[in-house]
Amino acid sequence: MSGSGKPENSGQNLAVAGAAGLSLEHALTEELQASTEELQAANDELLRRNEALVRLNSDIRNLLESAAIPMLFLDSDLRIRNFTPDIAALFNLIEADKGRSIADITHRLLSFDPIGIATAVMQTGEVMAHEVGMQGAGTVFLMRARPYRTAEGATDGVVLTFVDVSEAKLARDQINHAGKLIALGEMATGMAHELNQPLNAIKLGIANITARLRRGDMPADDILPRLVRIEHNVTRANKVISHMRDFGRRVEEAPACFDAAEAVRDACTLAQQELTSAEVTVEIIEAGARPPVRGHQSLLEQVMLNLLLNARDAILSRREVEPGLPGRVQVTLEGSTAGLVLRLRDNGQGVPPELAGRIFEAFFTTKEIGKGTGLGLSISARIIEEMGGRISLEAVAEGSCFRIDLPAAEVPA
């Protein structure tokens, strides 16, 4: 009996095992099918993303090729990552130039330190702008350097753009020159008086020598000192004429390093007669060590001349209600952590607070009709900005105080 039961149990076990195997096979088949579907979905998503990436790369390529602005993309090592066709034409770049240092291709640009500017942008994350000239081309570009941002917002390079501003710069230069001529025109009477003094002295000296020589009562020893005085007056007149000619000349040379104090002193010399006739005294204070600045000395002189003449007018306006007011102008120059600070303060009528925000606008003036063009301060602000600086009006208890901040010039070793 017992023997006949074993095969029966074995068959039952086999049946159970077979059913379990079929169940496992079915489960594995379903799991494999699910995995296959997931893989297929992932593959489809990957294909879609790849197609999107291809389209994006195509869009970027078309954007770069159609961009009319010369653009240069640098990596974190300041090597060329990519560029637009316009920049390729500008610097004669080819595909093989990718990976080269920016310093290798910008040698034709004047007054341009690509490594220094790009490094500063990388460190600060701020946008920097400079006007740079092209050697041998006479072209001026406004170069902007901005950080190249990753999707996470990290700085991973620099983007340089170059915009041709030659015509705009020519227009600005013409406006600056017109401002000089306006200033010289305002001082014409005073300059004529400045020239008349030495010319009259020369005329009287020569007449006196001639008369005494005709009478025969002039010793030879008395002639030499009189001729020396005449020569001194000739030199004085020539200096005035030369300074006016230099000041009125168009600026054509490249920016250079200079001492801002020289521009201040030269402006005071030009305005001396105007200030003297208005009974305005000027005090120049040169405080401590000061760095040189970069730009055109004659243009900073133009700025100072505008401020001096404005100070004179403000003092005269206040004197109308306060007769006998002593006119005072104080100019201070001192070094700062960033470069140089120049202040011009007067004891004139001052600028009304409600108008302080508009004084640097073109054609805006607080003077009476016919007494001002409204261009002096706007031209001055642009000149200072082109030097990399800033001009502002500081609040003071009496009169006005204009502050000019200029960066220190990098002096070649």
Least confident span in 61-70, 227-236, 373-382: 61-70
Res 14: pLDDT = 62
Least confident of 33-37, 190-194, 405-409: 190-194
Does the predicted model carry a pTM greater than 0.75? no
- What are 275-298's pLDDT values in tens digits? 888 999 999 999 878 899 988 888
Structural contact between residues 385 and 377, judged by C-beta atoms closer than 8 angstroms: no
Nearest to 187 by CA among 297, 286, 90, 267: 267
Share of the chain above pLDDT 70, in %: 73
So what's the pLDDT on residue 19? 65
Dihedral angle computed from the Cα positions of residues 276, 181, 186 and 343, in that order, rounded to the nearest 10 degrees: -50
Q: Looking at the predicted structure, is the pLDDT value of residue 52 above 90?
A: no
Q: What is the dihedral of CA 246, 248, 250, 256, to 10 degrees?
A: 50
Closest among 110, 121, 111, 74 to 93, alpha carbons compared = 74
Q: How far apart are CA 376 and CA 302, in angstroms?
A: 9
Q: Looking at per-residue confidence, does 177 or 379 come out higher?
A: 379
Query: Given phi > 0 = left and psi -120 to 50 = alpha, else beta, which region is 251?
Result: beta
**Which DSSP state fits 368?**
P
Query: Kind and range of the H or E element at 158?
Result: strand 155-164
Residue 285: the pLDDT is 93
- Identify the CA nearest to 261 among candidates 312, 301, 296, 303: 301
Q: Can you read off the two tokens belonging to residue 137?
A: 């081309």
Distance CA 319, CA 326 (A): 8
Q: Determine phi and psi for 325, rounding to 5 degrees.
A: -60, 125
The residue among 164, 195, 230 that closes a domain is: 164
Domain end call among 66, 98, 119: 66
231 and 104 share one domain: no
Q: Is there a domain that residue 382 lies in? A: yes
Asked which of 52-66, 112-126, 315-329 is least confident by mean pLDDT, the reply is 52-66
413 in any annotated domain: no
Q: What is the CATH number of the domain that holds 144?
A: 3.30.450.20
Alpha carbon distance 67, 225 (integer Å): 74
Structure confidence by residue, pLDDT tens digits, 8-28? 666 666 666 666 666 767 777
Cα gap 145→49, rounded to integer Å: 32
Same domain, 192 and 302: yes
- Stronger pLDDT, 225 or 192, i.e. the higher one: 225
* Residue-range definition of the domain harbouring residue 41: 21-66
pLDDT band at 1 (very low <50, low <70, confident <90, very high): very low
Distance of CA 407 to the CA centre of its chain: 10
Residue 323 within any structural domain of the chain:
yes
Higher pLDDT: 71 or 108? It is 71
Does one domain contain both 219 and 308? yes
- Asked whether residue 176 falls in the same domain as residue 91, the answer is no
Say yes or no: 270 and 352 in one domain. Answer: yes
DSSP letters along 229-253, please? HHHHHHHHHHHHHHHHHHHHSPP-S
Are 34 and 57 in the same domain? yes
How many helices (H) and strands (E) the chain has is answered by: 9, 13
DSSP state of 103: G
Q: How many domains does the chain have?
A: 3
- Asked if residue 235 is part of any domain, the answer here is yes
Q: Which of 308, 227, 229 is nearest to 267 (CA)?
A: 308
| Domain end point (choices 149, 164, 179) | 164
Distance CA 367, CA 362 (A): 14
Examine the domain organization and report whether 373 and 325 are in the same domain: yes
pLDDT at site 361: 72
- Cα gap 251→297, rounded to integer Å: 10
The CATH number covering residue 204 comes to 3.30.565.10
- Which of 102-106, 169-173, 335-339, 341-345 shows the highest mean pLDDT? 341-345
Other CB atoms within a 10 A radius of the CB of residue 234 amount to 14
Place of tokens 């020519």: 170
The 8-class DSSP code of residue 345 comes to E
Residue 369 pLDDT more than 60?
A: no
- Report the C-alpha gap between 404 and 391 in whole angstroms: 4
Rounded Cα distance between 160 and 195, Å, is 52
pLDDT at 330: 95
Same domain, 300 and 356: yes
Same domain flag for 291 and 341: yes
pLDDT at 191 over 70: no
User: Over the stretch 350-362, which tens digit does the pLDDT of each residue have?
Assistant: 888 878 777 777 6
Q: Pick the residue with more confidence: 300 or 137?
A: 300
Residue 345 lies in a domain: yes
Together in a domain, 142 and 186: no
Is residue 101 located within the same domain as residue 244? Answer: no
Asked if residue 139 and residue 204 are part of one domain, the reply reads no
**Average pLDDT value over all residues in the chain:** 78
